[in-house]
Structure 1
Amino acid sequence: MKKALWGATALTLVASTSFAGGIDRSGQGVNILFEEGNYAQFTLSRINPDVNGKPAITGAYGDANNVAQGYNQLSFGYKHQVNDNWSVALIADQPYGAHVLYADGPFSNVGSGGALPYNAQADIDSRALTFLAQYELGNGFSIHGGARGVSVKGLIEAGDGRLNADSDYNWGGVIGVAYEKPEIALRVALTYASAIDVDFDGSISQLVAPGTLAPEMPTDFSVEFPESVNLDFQTGVAANTLVFGSARWVGWGGFNLTTPGLAGDIEWVNFADDTTTYRLGVGQRLNDQWSVALVAGYESAGTRPSTTALAPTTGSKSIGVAATYTSPTNWVVSGGLEYVIPGDQSVQVSGGAAPDLQFNDNSAIAMGIRIGYRF
């Protein structure tokens, strides 16, 4: 049951963080450690949001349309069974990201009457390498741990100016414990990942007057990407039926990006809330080759109004389906589709002096494919 079902249940998590708190994207799972034998997988997902804002008072200013931009997510994982007690794994993924663009509305060049010499945006990407080892303690218990390196680059254009920066890899730790009972497909895994201080080098052009940027100057700064805790579980509940789920907590509260400016520090991003994201699903094996899964997700809303126009939604609800085909030649192919409802949010246009820009009744479609091979 474990081998036939897990591909489908895992792929329903592909888009689980497409609208998670902060700038969480991949969920940084370690489930590849629990695959049988030697195993490699490649995952590609696509997230297409539809996020639009309207002024609280009709006609106060223009709408902000298609603010959240579509993006792709790639990941690769390899697990090697060294012997009966030891296994190791490598995971390459994209844990953080933001793709927000105000092409119209009050935060655009035209909508601001030229006060902004650009359309406000955030275009942030990341890469991570995670090296893990797992040791079987006996009686179903195991421990796992290792190191995770993160590299981030991005562009922010906002009311304070333009910031463009990137980083080399900076490192943190991962540690966890798990319990398994294969005869009923039971597994519970708890994983902690430390915070990582990421050191950036880049340039800043400060907005010194409406429509006017100061000359570009170099800047360097550090940002602490938060610690996290993942709890994953699964258990058989009937013949060929699996119940599974997860809870992920991330310490986004207090996440801050601040750089020196011409007349004092500039705060570009400041998140006010930690986030906890929940998933619960059921998987069903149809035969030796096919299995399917259904999963629901929930994350509670954070502070309203938003502390930044670069976070136009808060919290989410989702429903997803997935199917997996396991070939007689050890190939495993999964496909999944998820419908996400981002939580409503509002953004103050000018320090609260102007009506809020309200983002209500938005949605996103996420889809993914995973190809794995056992050897």
Structure 2
Amino acid sequence: MKKMLMGATALAMVGGASYAGGIDRSGQGVNILFEEGDYAQFTFARINPNVTGTPAVAGAFANANNVAQSFNQLSFGYKHEFNEKWSAAIIADQPFGAHVLYADGPFSNAGSGGALPFDAQADIDSRALTFLAQYNLGNGFSIHGGARALSVNGIIESGDGRLNADSDYDWGGVLGVAYEKPEIALRVALTYASAIDVGFDGDIEQLIGAGTLAPSRATDFTVEFPESVNLDFQTGIAPKTLLFGSVRWVGWEGFNLTTSGLAGDIEWVNFADDTYTYRLGVGRQINDSLSLALVAGYESSGTRPSTTALAPTTGSKSIGIAATYDTNKNWVFSGGLEYVIPGDQNVQVQSGAAPDLQFNDNSAVVAGIRIGYHF
């Protein structure tokens, strides 16, 4: 079953790096804890979206083409087994991010008629280090937990102006419980990650008139990155066949980025909905070296219309395939492809009865590889 578990893991990786709600990117999984013995893995994914908006009122604006930018996801994990009771792991990943650019259309410099001195965009990256320990309680039960350090940096350019900021590492906690029955490849793991208050330092250039920015001034603020719960499960359903899946909840409702302005506060980002992401798949061992898997994903849609041009889609559906090749000499190679249909969204950032842009019938392709080594 080990080879099929690796195939399932590869697909979970690919899906977690695709279009999740809010600015969720990695899914913050802890499945490396359940690998056999000492183990290291490196993961790379490339996400290529195609997201275009058309005017809600014909002729009102030009199209906003390809506003969602392609990006890469990297992660590294290492697990060490001290004895039958204790093991530990460290995970480095990029849990949050946003890459949106309006190079044309109403939120670009040209499309706004000069009202914006730049193209509206969000370019946000993050880095996290998660330190975990696991204790085997016996009878198939175990507990795991630890700490997560998060650092975020980026730039937002919108109708409010330009905000450029970054943070040091701030800390949160992780706690979970699992049950395993190896003879039928059964595992259920529940993991809670606390919210993290991230303190930022940066500068603001506030838009004070058409095409005019106020002089840059320093700012500091705090953003609470949300708590989350992951439920991961798998079980054998037939010889050499595995059913696996996950449910992830993230408390994005109330996520807010607000700074002080020249005449009151500026709300740069405000998310109105929590997200629930579901994945279900089947893995099949083909021979002693090769296994294949198929997985489907669904995320419920949030509020429409969006009040920020930086959130041009909501919810998603996806289908993916993966293959895992075990050399039977420590090395394990996995690869996967996923096709994602981001949920339709209307963007309304100006007052009026109709939204400014409608984002319908868009797509994304995700490709990923994972290299694992058992010591």
Does the alignment reach a TM-score above 0.5? yes
Q: CA shift at 1:6, angstroms?
A: 1.2
TM-score when normalising by structure 1: 0.99
Alignment of 1:301-316 (within 5 A): 301-316=301-316
Aligned length: 374
Paired position in structure 2 for 1:12: 11
Alignment of 1:126-141 (within 5 A): 126-141=126-141
Identical columns (%): 78
Alignment check: 8 A CA contact 2:316 2:341 kept: yes
Alignment check: 8 A CA contact 1:272 1:307 kept: no
Paired position in structure 1 for 2:325: 325
CA distance in 2, matches of 1:184, 1:264: 60
CA distance in 1, matches of 2:77, 2:328: 21
CA distance in 2, matches of 1:13, 1:174: 19
Q: CA shift at 1:307, angstroms?
A: 2.5
Alignment of 1:196-235 (within 5 A): 196-235=196-235
Alignment check: 8 A CA contact 2:57 2:354 kept: no
The residue type paired with residue 240 of structure 2 is: N
Alignment check: 8 A CA contact 1:271 1:307 kept: no
Q: CA shift at 1:4, angstroms?
A: 1.1
CA distance in 1, matches of 2:11, 2:222: 34
Q: CA shift at 1:15, angstroms?
A: 3.0
Paired position in structure 1 for 2:83: 83
CA distance in 1, matches of 2:196, 2:355: 38
CA distance in 2, matches of 1:314, 1:205: 29
Instruction: Give the match's secondary structure for 1:12.
Output: helix
CA distance in 1, matches of 2:61, 2:278: 37
Instruction: Give the match's secondary structure for 2:162.
Output: strand
Alignment of 1:163-178 (within 5 A): 163-178=163-178
CA distance in 1, matches of 2:264, 2:139: 59
Alignment of 1:99-114 (within 5 A): 99-114=99-114
CA distance in 2, matches of 1:112, 1:321: 42
Instruction: Give the match's secondary structure for 2:4.
Output: helix
The residue type paired with residue 346 of structure 1 is: N
Paired position in structure 1 for 2:262: 262
Q: CA deviation digits over 1:261-312, x for unaligned, max 9?
A: 1001100000000000000000000111000000000001000001311000
TM-score when normalising by structure 2: 0.99
Q: CA shift at 1:355, angstroms?
A: 4.4
CA distance in 2, matches of 1:193, 1:328: 35
Q: CA shift at 1:351, angstroms?
A: 2.1
Q: CA deviation digits over 1:192-224, x for unaligned, max 9?
A: 000000000000000000100000000000000
Paired position in structure 2 for 1:297: 297
Q: CA shift at 1:349, angstroms?
A: 4.3
Alignment of 1:1-375 (within 5 A): 1=1, 3-17=2-16, 18-352=18-352, 355-375=355-375
Structure 1 unaligned blocks of 5 or more:
none
CA distance in 1, matches of 2:167, 2:75: 20
Q: CA shift at 1:75, angstroms?
A: 0.1
Q: CA shift at 1:259, angstroms?
A: 0.3
The residue type paired with residue 198 of structure 1 is: V
Q: CA deviation digits over 1:198-257, x for unaligned, max 9?
A: 000000000000100000000000000000000000000000000000000000000000
Q: CA shift at 1:356, angstroms?
A: 2.9
The residue type paired with residue 195 of structure 1 is: A
The residue type paired with residue 56 of structure 2 is: A
Alignment check: 8 A CA contact 1:24 1:95 kept: yes
CA distance in 2, matches of 1:22, 1:119: 21
Q: CA shift at 1:156, angstroms?
A: 0.1
Alignment check: 8 A CA contact 2:307 2:349 kept: no
The residue type paired with residue 15 of structure 1 is: V
